[in-house]
Structure 1
Amino acid sequence: MNAPKLLLRELPGDYAVSRLAAGSDTPDWVNGPGLVTVTSAEDETSILCLRERVPSEVKQSAGWTAIQVSNLFDFDEPGVVVAATRPVAEAGLGIFVVSTFDRDYLLVRQDSLHRAEMAWLGYGHRVQRGQLFLRNAEISDCDAIAAFHLRIWRQTYGAIAPTAAVEALNFDRRQEQWRVKLSGNREQSVTLLAEDEQGQLMGLCDLTGSTISGFEDALEITHLYLDEKLRGQGGGRYFLNLAQHIAQRFKKPAVVLEVVRENTAALDFYRACGGDPVAEQTYRGPLWPSENVIIRWSSDL
């Protein structure tokens, strides 16, 4: 049986699980927005709701994030809970599940959320962040990635790079680049895509073991591109934060990237996101010997 592919969406707010004595009446503070469950058992009454409504004197475990399994499955659909919980359990994270008639909800610790999201993405699930849908790239995505890469790169570097380089780095060249990358060894490489509701590619982040001289022990962001409609909305910061968590998973001490020195907007953005300009190097590529700044982030979050 093939495991179902899930769409997972974070619900806003800090959740708490509270314990009342067995046979307790449901208190008024339970009522309000957000996910709410009340479970009565012979030895306790357990309540899940937003932490802000739980009185401080009530025994509670707080700091949980609620994740909705947004797919609608038949009530007795097999494998849904396993597909949702196994990636997180194998990542060494705690999780518990509550269910309604239509859906399952997962509770993970807030400080483990990004690690859980990476685990789900690694299993082929999708993660919704606002109006964006994240997933791992597949070989069948080569054409869409090549077209997106070509468009955003030319918007960014068309006035900076030599004309010969702009012309040579065309769709065919980008397509072959991504075909080779996505069909190769991906043991310590990740290519994340962000799509809109219609499946249009809006963001791209590619990570692999660093080839930058002097930083070979780091995880390198080789490509980080966002559609202009997404800029200033937190997508770039989210990708950078995920990169730090991925570096931790791969036991890399840092995340690094190269950015062309003339790309001042990108340099300012990376500095604002906590990146440290640690070196400058000349990229000795056959088309464009650009002067690049190396930006570094520690993976110690």
Structure 2
Amino acid sequence: MHAPKLLLRELPGDYAVSRLAAGSDTPDWVNGPGLVTVTSAEDETSILCLRERVPAEVKQSAGWTAIQVSNLFDFDEPGVVVAATRPVAEAGLGIFVVSTFDRDYLLVRQDSLHRAELAWLGYGHRVQRGQLFLRNAEISDCDAIAAFHLRIWRQTYGAIAPTAAVEALNFDRRQEQWRVKLSGNREQSVTLLAEDEQGQLMGLCDLTGSTISGFEDALEITHLYLDEKLRGQGVGRYFLNLAQHIAQRFRKPALVLEVVRENTAALDFYRACGGDPVAEQTYRGPLWPSDNVIIRWSSDL
């Protein structure tokens, strides 16, 4: 049996699970927006709703985030709940499930949300953030990634890099680069893609063991590119937050990246996201010996 691939979408708000005495009437404060479930059992009445509506004197467990399994499955479709819960359980996180006629919903702790998202992505599921859809890259994505990489890199560095480097780093070269990367050993590597509703690539974050001199024990962001339409919407910060969690999962003490010194917009952005400029090095590549700033984040979240 093949496990179904899921689309998981976070619902806004802080959720709480409350306990009332068995046989209690449904209180008026239950009614309102968001996901609501009321379960009556022989020994209790349990209510799930947004925390803001639960009176302080009611016994409750708060700090939960609700995740919708957005796919529609038949009632007897096998493996849906297992596909949703196994990745999170294997990541050592708590989770519980509630279901409606159409869908399943997962509740995870708010402070564990990014770890849960990474667990789902690692199992081949997709995670929706607003109008974007995140997933792990596959070897079949090489052409789309190469074209996106080429376009954003030239927009960013076309006026900075030597003409010979701009011309040499063409589609064929990028395609081969990504083919080798995605077909190689991925044990300590992750490539995350963000797509729009039409499947158009809009963002890319690639991570692997660092090759930066003096920072070989860190996890390196080798590529972080966003379509200009996404800039200023928090997507870059979200990628960086996921990257820090990945570094922690790989037991790396830090997250690092190199930024060309002339790319002042990127330097300002990474500083604003808590990155610490810790060193400067000259990249000794054959096409462009650029002067780079090393940015570092601790993986201790």
Q: Deviations over 1:136-185 (max 9, x none)?
A: 00000000000000000000000000000000000000000000000000
**Cα distance between partner residues in 1 of 2:43 and 2:254:** 48
Q: Deviations over 1:7-40 (max 9, x none)?
A: 0000000000000000000000000000000000
TM superposition shift of 1:50? 0.1
**SS of equivalent residue, structure 2 residue 98:** strand
TM superposition shift of 1:192? 0.1
TM superposition shift of 1:292? 0.1
**Cα distance between partner residues in 1 of 2:45 and 2:217:** 50
Q: Deviations over 1:196-230 (max 9, x none)?
A: 00000000000000000000010000000000000
**SS of equivalent residue, structure 1 residue 47:** strand
**Cα distance between partner residues in 1 of 2:253 and 2:34:** 38
1:144 match: 144
TM superposition shift of 1:191? 0.1
TM superposition shift of 1:81? 0.1
Q: Could you tell me the percent identity over the aligned residues?
A: 98
TM superposition shift of 1:75? 1.4
Q: Deviations over 1:70-119 (max 9, x none)?
A: 00011111100000000000000000000000000000000000000000
**SS of equivalent residue, structure 2 residue 279:** strand
Unpaired runs of at least 5, structure 2: none
Describe how 1:199-210 pairs up with structure 2 within 5 A.
199-210=199-210
**Cα distance between partner residues in 1 of 2:188 and 2:28:** 50
Aligned length in residues: 301
More deviation in 71-80 or 118-127? 71-80
**Cα distance between partner residues in 1 of 2:208 and 2:16:** 37
Runs of 4+ in 1 over 3 A off after TM superposition: none
**Cα distance between partner residues in 2 of 1:46 and 1:76:** 26
**SS of equivalent residue, structure 1 residue 151:** helix
TM superposition shift of 1:68? 0.1
Q: Deviations over 1:252-282 (max 9, x none)?
A: 0110000000000000000000000000000
**Cα distance between partner residues in 1 of 2:44 and 2:20:** 6
**Cα distance between partner residues in 2 of 1:158 and 1:187:** 33
**Cα distance between partner residues in 2 of 1:110 and 1:103:** 21
**Cα distance between partner residues in 2 of 1:201 and 1:260:** 24
**Cα distance between partner residues in 2 of 1:255 and 1:207:** 9
TM superposition shift of 1:59? 0.2
**Cα distance between partner residues in 2 of 1:60 and 1:216:** 46
